[in-house]
Structure 1
């Protein structure tokens, strides 16, 4: 028992601590060979290329959606007003004086001089071409003549403005007939889908647009917005450049002189000066008339003097169309009442006792004017709050109204006892 008690630990005795010994193993990584390292780097590079390709594809796929989703507000297009005639004449006079001082040192013209002049003209024409395009109607049926000749149904357009989302292009509305889809070909030869923004059958103009996001950088480098010049300064004998589809095919070019600036083309609710030239054209030719500084001074249209059989370029003077262009560029309808009129001259006032205003020569059937009761022979004196003393002031007053709104038109009508006051409430329309 004593021996057993000796083996039992007492309260003052601690149990023996058991100690165990473990083997600690250190795992060392297997050394990577140079060949394996190269393979790993190649694999990572391939993964990077694949990821980059998918990222690029995703960017280009989502770019139109993102631009459409997060685009800002349209910028309002403002066409600059024409320079004052007196200031322009003073500036031109100063330039002419400077030129006269150099006449003593001028050399006689030679064949080489002519070549230099033409080379300079061609350079200016090439620069002006950046601001025009060819607008083509897209047909679902195959045009075999176009396939064989390469000449498609098209009209010349001029790049008029950039509203931040679209490039705006003014063209003759003859390209709109029997068409619902259009394309635009720029000076670099690239073709893009275009949409019809507005058209005005009264003046014969159409405004097309191409989304900025669809235009490639290479095209941006090759085009520009044309400068609309002051056609009021154009004089008989001025040298001009005609660019466009004047001869039945795009990219035509010709030079000539202005043969007359004394005549006008009339349309409902207004008129427009005509720049007549000695440049040959096809009957249905369209194009743009430029001065030598590359500014647009006229739009060549087959609707100018339709009965003209001389087959020469006649263009609507751009200054008389700027208000219409600005309205259409901002996506609005061009106001239309439907009156053919002429200014009551001082001679008519004296001989026939007519009041001041515009004499109504004709009224367009089914027009707002006809519906309101305006008749041929009436004299219009006021449109809204604007007094009317000439066809120019009448046209300006009409364009200052809004399509769809009502405006009070005041005038005078010849009765048994002379002219009496008349008043009409006209709902302004548009001729789209």
Structure 2
């Protein structure tokens, strides 16, 4: 019986054929939807709106964070250097025939023109003059707008890149923690006390530069400190500030005297007396006809002398102290009043040369070191003392907290003997 034939099996497919059959659907081409002009415009509009929203928030964030960023990343303030006075140069004598000039006619019109030209100088100089007032609610409410606010005149003495620095009488510092500075354009800004020196009676206030508007910048200027050593009796001078008891006053006059001194601990200042009227508590600034500061008007010069004319401390004698204050440094203080004993006086009085101590301030570093009235100081920290000016310079060259050796002589039963003092330099702030 014939065997049934086995059914023929289909040959197995190759691996490549199986793959082709398994993923055959991938061979199909998917056609993208056609991009219409409307879709393109819609997409562009969406991107533009998102960009506008992002840009708006970025701008708002920039302006909101700008003051903070400027405060955080403005860098260190620059060290301020007050230029020293230039020594006058003697001009060689020239044998020339004198030039005869015809004197201008002195009439009302010429006087009017002269006063107008002086006022123009005063107006330009006034850009560096400010008025500083303590922030006290009661005083502001009682005197606002009357022009008699409890304020002191000051000058813009320096710009350290971060702050405008203003010098004025330190009587404005008592019982106050906040101050307002009014510039020449009548704009007002808050100020902080940077440093004060109660010995000299001056203080420096700081106004942040970033708070000052461009309009104010166009109306203010940093003062030029002149050489008051060149001022002579009879020179014309301009007084600006609070000299008359109210802010923003102006007065003209002459230097009536420059021969007298104001004594203070560790030094003395030359006084520029004028014939310009002044109130009992008037403060202000003296300018020369070049618009340079030559003096700081203070109300307590020579104490209660009964004079009602403006007197100022010569600015050249203040420059070393000003430089310390504007840089935030304390002014060195020993607390000695003295007078110079030169060779002539020493020979006549049979005493050593140096600085004769006339008074030692109570609770001062000098008193703590044992310095007494009648001692003659001859050397500080290795610097020889020839006069009171050299003594003051030697003290200012010291650092607050530094221990310095002062050498001198003290009179005993057998005459003058050597004596040394170890003084810890202090400050009055």
Change (3 A) 1:26 1:349: closer
Aligned: 1:61 with 2:64? yes
Q: Matches of 1:102 and 1:243 in 2, distance apart?
A: 36
Q: Matches of 2:343 and 2:111 in 1, distance apart?
A: 50
Aligned: 1:336 with 2:333? yes
Shift of 1:345: 3.7
Q: Matches of 1:31 and 1:262 in 2, distance apart?
A: 93
Give me the TM-score of the superposition, normalised by structure 2: 0.87
Which sections of structure 2, spanning at least 5 residues, go unmatched?
Answer: 1-9, 13-27
Superposed counterparts of 1:150-165, under 5 Å: 150-165=147-162
Q: Matches of 1:429 and 1:282 in 2, distance apart?
A: 34
Q: Matches of 1:389 and 1:31 in 2, distance apart?
A: 96
Which sections of structure 1, spanning at least 5 residues, go unmatched?
Answer: 1-8, 12-20
The one of 378, 390, 393 aligned to 1:393 = 390
Aligned: 1:242 with 2:239? yes
- Once the two structures are superposed, residues 147-184 of structure 1 have per-residue CA deviations (whole angstroms, 9 ceiling, x without a partner) of 36253211111111111111111110011011111111
Change (3 A) 1:348 1:107: closer
Aligned: 1:404 with 2:401? yes
More deviation, 171-180/71-80: 71-80
More deviation, 367-376/157-166: 157-166
Superposed counterparts of 1:103-114, under 5 Å: 103-104=101-102, 106-114=103-111
Q: Matches of 2:124 and 2:350 in 1, distance apart?
A: 54
Superposed counterparts of 1:294-333, under 5 Å: 294-333=291-330
Shift of 1:142: 5.2
Superposed counterparts of 1:143-292, under 5 Å: 143-147=140-144, 149-292=146-289
Give me the TM-score of the superposition, normalised by structure 1: 0.86
- Once the two structures are superposed, residues 297-339 of structure 1 have per-residue CA deviations (whole angstroms, 9 ceiling, x without a partner) of 0000112122121211000000001000011111110000000
Q: Is the 8 A contact 1:204 1:303 kept in 2?
A: no
Change (3 A) 1:51 1:374: same
Q: Matches of 2:327 and 2:152 in 1, distance apart?
A: 22
More deviation, 200-209/159-168: 159-168
Aligned residue pairs: how many? 412
Change (3 A) 1:158 1:53: farther
The root-mean-square deviation of aligned C-alpha atoms, in Å, is 3.3
Aligned: 1:362 with 2:365? no
Q: Matches of 1:102 and 1:133 in 2, distance apart?
A: 44
